[in-house]
Structure 1
Amino acid sequence: MFCNHQVLPMMEVKLRDSPQRLRMSVRLIRGICHPVRIRVLAFLLEHGTLSVKDLQLATGLGQSNVSQHLKKLQAAGLIGMEKVGSFNHYRISHPGIKTLLEQAAHCVEAMPEYGNTGLNRRPVPK
């Protein structure tokens, strides 16, 4: 069990058995490892498709900053983009992204800093 929650069936796949799967997992995790990118993903999950301007208004950030985060999310394969007129519209590229963010939230809630001391802290295998 991870984070005191039931492990999803897809988690039964062992990353260490596939170097390619491990590299892809690292790319995905690096893609979301910033609070702004997690917020952008949450807005896209909630609204479906949004323009850069929509995301600027939602995050309170400037166009350049939002665009940089969108490029990183795109490079990680987390979002897709389509041109609508002269505007770029972004959307979540895979339904599993919602599950990934939900599982991360469950893990955070189970952490001692969040008030739950039942988290099983084992050393990370090498």
Structure 2
Amino acid sequence: MTQPTITSVDVYCSQGDEARRQQHREFCAEVGAVPFPMSEAALALLPALQAIESNFCAGSLHIVMEDGNLDDTCVQYAIDDAVKDGNAEEERIARALAALSYNERVALYSCFVPNDYTADDLD
């Protein structure tokens, strides 16, 4: 028997207490959030991103995980910035993001911001 596919919407709607999860479900329904399938590699990276989520706006991953610039050039910029800043954890995460496909990055990003990307944005 195969495991059900976990999606970005599943992850987004599983965060917080029940009231918060309900708000997330209503928001996803309202904006028509696309349930991007999560690969095992993306799911494996999720806890590390959740641990530093409050620092997205100030850290090396800002342009990727806060602004949603998921192309290879922006991910490489995040790696270079983390190296320059001496932030080993953000460098490790950025390198792991670089190893993901663009579509995997879209799914992972959508766990945090479920209404920025549509199926038309995938490669």
What TM-score, normalized to structure 1? 0.38
Bigger Rg, which one: 1
Say which structure is richer in strand: 1
Q: Which has the higher contact order (CA 8 A, sep 6+)?
A: 2
What TM-score, normalized to structure 2? 0.39
Say which structure is richer in helix: 2
